[in-house]
């Protein structure tokens, strides 16, 4: 890399100055010595880890393709960000050494020294700037929506001599570090990555050796990693469902799995001394979008639906088995945003739900068991996929809504199907499970119901909600922000905007072949150097 160079990147379209990047780095024959301990990986039968995972996308790990793929890039140990969340969701330095600001609008980030990409190239401010230029160029072509975390108008100055990157944001933002911990902002070697689908060059402990469609990845240790890499090889094996993961673990086909959600299986594993089950208190909310652009634009219908679903009983059922905590708001009760002060006007009451519909003239006029609205049977298309018990919740909707004369047509596919239909608006109900504080703060998550947001996939609009959301942009006081979030939650509850399943706890389960494996509160960090062979 050239030193003594400054480079300015303006996300408003300014040119990148003085690129001056090496063409090959570690492959250039320049004598680069691997800094990590890919060469010091364990020997014998402890050199390989078999990791069973849900296939959340069609194998892609390109951070800019869509939300699932940017998470995969980090979960599979390839990409890293400037910052990383601890288990209290507080951002800590990762590739960055520090970040300083005086006004929350200009942030000066100092990078850690000695970090290399898996191709042997040094991590420099210029490399960081190039990664963010791709974020600007490719972000609009996917569905990752990286502009939510780093606005395209941001001006970035990269100073390789000082080892600093300066960010001038279009507006002050007190959560800059949290934004720069989201997988959408992970740093990749833009110059040398030639196949973005499955061979991204990152700074993480592992790199892709091969990929087999519908089967999984073979990863190998990054020889340039800045810390010891525990395994020489990791085989990431796509598993069709939670039961398949449990079966493979119990039969020794895999050493590690994430998120087994079959109640009987996880209970059996917890009771078996041959396995370790690590569960993180959840900041995830399982919820179903309600499409305001269709029949669910009817307020009475949405309110009746809320009263027809018995969340407490569902979450305590043999199917769900306590893996979710019941709740009625989009932010979990474990977070400090005023959940205990909220009022739920639509508590479970089937008789009241039926009366509400009858009084509004939404009746079953032809006696077929299904009510009509505007002369058509109310049959809701419910999109879901097999993960974190989402299909089970959707099945529960169908049973519950039948009690008030509303039909439900299941549309169960892959995670990608669910996402694509959500973005396209091809649904009535769309059930999913989202991290509510993806960047350490719920602002980005609450944008899902802000009428001016690109992430508002349901067509909901409320001027009072919008005004409160916009106050978040200029309010930096923690207690006052919490009050705003509380008021916004109450509006969503009052308007019956979302069916809330409950709050999910993530898990990581390992055999005794693994010495340590931890599931983090931020569900981004799976394949890391923390996961080690048993001694």
DSSP of 258-302: E----HHHHHHHHH-TTEEEEEEEEEEEEEEEE-TTTGGG-HHHH
Q: Could you tell me how far CA 353 lies from the centroid of its own chain?
A: 34
3-state secondary structure of 60: coil
Instruction: Please answer whether residues 522 and 89 qualify as being in contact, where contact means their C-beta atoms are separated by less than 8 angstroms.
Output: yes
Task: Please write the tens of the pLDDT for every residue from 309-366.
Answer: 998 888 877 677 768 888 999 999 888 899 999 999 999 999 999 999 999 999 999 9
Within a domain: 77:
yes
Q: Which residue has the tokens 């399943």?
A: 501
Residue 493 sits in the same domain as residue 524: no
Instruction: Please answer whether residues 380 and 406 qualify as being in contact, where contact means their C-beta atoms are separated by less than 8 angstroms.
Output: yes
- List CB contacts of 312: < 8 A, sequence separation 6 or more: 326, 348
Structure tokens at 243: 């039961």
Give, as one character, the DSSP assignment of residue 320. Answer: T
Position 496 scores a pLDDT of: 98
For 9, 119, 157, 168, 374, the CA distances from 106, given in Å and listed in that order, are 14, 32, 11, 4, 54
Residue 81 sits in the same domain as residue 104: yes
> How many structural domains comprise the chain?
2
Residue 481 sits in the same domain as residue 360: yes
Within a domain: 84:
yes
Position 14 scores a pLDDT of: 37
Structural domain of 74: 6-20+36-231+512-533
| Domain CATH number, residue 402 | 3.10.105.10
Reported as type and span, the H/E element at residue 178 is helix 176-179
Instruction: Please answer whether residues 11 and 217 qualify as being in contact, where contact means their C-beta atoms are separated by less than 8 angstroms.
Output: no
Question: What averages of pLDDT result for each successive group of 10 residues across the chain (535 residues)?
Answer: 40 37 46 37 67 82 83 94 91 97 96 97 97 86 80 94 97 93 94 90 97 93 96 93 87 92 83 90 89 97 97 80 86 89 96 97 95 96 88 92 96 88 95 89 94 94 98 89 96 97 89 92 91 94
Residue 521 sits in the same domain as residue 487: no
- List CB contacts of 2: < 8 A, sequence separation 6 or more: 18, 20, 21, 160
Within a domain: 29:
no
Task: Please write the tens of the pLDDT for every residue from 458-517.
Answer: 999 999 999 999 999 888 888 999 999 999 999 999 999 999 989 988 889 999 999 999
Residue 209 sits in the same domain as residue 64: yes
From the list 175, 184, 148, the residue with the least C-alpha distance to 74 is: 184
Within a domain: 65:
yes
Residue 363 sits in the same domain as residue 399: yes
Residue 68 neighbours by CB distance under 10 Å: 23
CA distance 70 to 139: 11
Q: What angle do the packed helices 299-308 and 390-402 form, to 10 degrees? A: 110
Within a domain: 328:
yes
Within a domain: 240:
no
CA dihedral for 104, 107, 113, 116, sign (positive or negative): positive
CA distance 198 to 221: 16
From the list 328, 302, 330, the residue with the least C-alpha distance to 433 is: 330
CA distance 140 to 219: 29
Position 318 scores a pLDDT of: 65
Give backbone dihedrals phi and psi of 135, rounded to 5 degrees, phi first: -55, -40
Give backbone dihedrals phi and psi of 532, rounded to 5 degrees, phi first: -130, 155
Structure tokens at 455: 């992430």
Residue 220 sits in the same domain as residue 306: no
From the list 229, 207, 223, 234, the residue with the least C-alpha distance to 513 is: 234
Residue 472 sits in the same domain as residue 342: yes
Q: What angle do the packed helices 478-494 and 463-471 form, to 10 degrees? A: 160
Region class of 531: left (phi > 0), else alpha (psi between -120 and 50), else beta: beta
For 92, 324, 410, 434, the CA distances from 390, given in Å and listed in that order, are 32, 11, 12, 11
CA distance 267 to 261: 10
Residue 472 sits in the same domain as residue 526: no
Position 56 scores a pLDDT of: 74
Strands 48-54, 256-258: pairing is parallel
DSSP 482-529: HHHHHHHHHHHHHTT-EEEEEEEEEEEEEETTEEE----SSTT--SST
Residue 207 sits in the same domain as residue 91: yes
Give backbone dihedrals phi and psi of 409, rounded to 5 degrees, phi first: -105, 115
| Domain CATH number, residue 523 | 3.40.190.10
Residue 429 sits in the same domain as residue 517: no
Residue 495 sits in the same domain as residue 445: yes
pTM for the whole thing?
0.74
Structure tokens at 210: 């091969």
CA distance 218 to 208: 6
CA distance 345 to 493: 8
Q: Which residue has the tokens 């002369």?
A: 375
Within a domain: 207:
yes
Within a domain: 241:
no
Q: Which residue has the tokens 């306590």?
A: 322
Position 24 scores a pLDDT of: 57
Position 352 scores a pLDDT of: 97
Task: Please write the tens of the pLDDT for every residue from 493-508.
Answer: 999 999 998 998 888 9
């Amino acid at each position: 890399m050239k030193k003594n160079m400054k480079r300015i990147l303006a996300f408003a379209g300014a040119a990148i100055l003085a690129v001056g990047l090496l063409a090959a780095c570690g492959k250039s024959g320049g004598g680069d010595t691997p800094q990590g301990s890919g060469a010091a990986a364990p020997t014998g039968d402890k050199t390989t880890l078999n990791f069973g995972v849900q296939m959340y996308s069609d194998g892609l790990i390109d951070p800019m393709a869509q939300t699932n793929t940017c998470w995969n890039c980090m979960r599979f140990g390839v990409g890293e960000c400037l910052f990383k969340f601890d288990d209290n969701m507080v951002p800590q330095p990762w590739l960055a050494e520090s970040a300083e600001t005086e006004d929350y609008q200009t942030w000066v980030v100092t990078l850690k020294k000695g970090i290399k990409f898996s191709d042997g190239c040094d991590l420099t401010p210029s490399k960081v700037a190039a990664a963010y230029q791709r974020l600007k160029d490719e972000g609009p072509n996917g569905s990752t929506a990286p502009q939510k975390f780093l606005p395209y108008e941001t001006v970035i100055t990269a100073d390789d001599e000082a080892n600093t990157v300066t960010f001038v944001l279009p507006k002050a933002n007190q959560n800059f570090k949290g934004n720069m911990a989201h997988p959408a902002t992970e740093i990749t070697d833009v110059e040398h990555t030639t196949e973005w689908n499955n061979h991204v060059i990152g700074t993480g402990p592992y790199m892709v050796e091969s990929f087999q469609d519908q089967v999984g990845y073979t990863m190998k240790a990054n020889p340039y990693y800045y810390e010891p890499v525990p395994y020489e090889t990791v085989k990431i094996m796509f598993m069709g469902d939670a039961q398949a993961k449990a079966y493979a673990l119990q039969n020794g086909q895999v050493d590690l799995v994430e998120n087994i959600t079959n109640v009987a299986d996880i209970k059996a594993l917890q009771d078996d001394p041959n396995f370790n089950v690590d569960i993180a208190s959840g900041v995830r909310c399982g919820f179903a979008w309600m499409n305001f652009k269709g029949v669910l634009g009817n307020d009475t219908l949405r309110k009746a639906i809320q009263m027809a679903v018995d969340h407490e009983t569902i979450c305590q059922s043999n199917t769900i088995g306590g893996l979710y905590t019941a709740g009625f708001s989009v932010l979990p009760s474990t977070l400090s945003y005023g959940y205990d002060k909220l009022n739920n006007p639509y508590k479970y009451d089937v008789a009241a739900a039926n009366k509400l519909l009858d009084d509004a003239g939404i009746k079953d006029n032809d006696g077929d068991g299904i009510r009509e609205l505007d002369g058509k049977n109310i049959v809701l298309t419910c999109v879901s996929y097999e993960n974190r018990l989402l299909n089970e919740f959707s099945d529960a909707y169908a049973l519950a809504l039948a009690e008030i004369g509303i039909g439900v047509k299941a549309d169960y596919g892959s995670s990608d199907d669910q996402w694509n239909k959500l973005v396209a608006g091809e649904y009535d109900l769309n059930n999913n499970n989202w991290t509510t504080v993806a960047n350490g703060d719920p602002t980005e998550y609450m944008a899902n119901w802000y009428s001016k947001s690109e992430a508002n996939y349901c067509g909901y609009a409320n001027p009072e909600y919008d005004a409160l959301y916009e106050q978040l942009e200029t309010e930096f006081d923690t207690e006052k922000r919490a009050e705003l979030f509380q008021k916004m939650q109450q509006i969503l509850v009052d308007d019956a905007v979302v069916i809330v399943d409950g709050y999910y706890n993530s898990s990581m389960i390992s055999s005794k072949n693994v010495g340590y494996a931890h599931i983090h509160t931020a569900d981004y960090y799976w394949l890391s150097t923390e996961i080690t062979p048993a001694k």
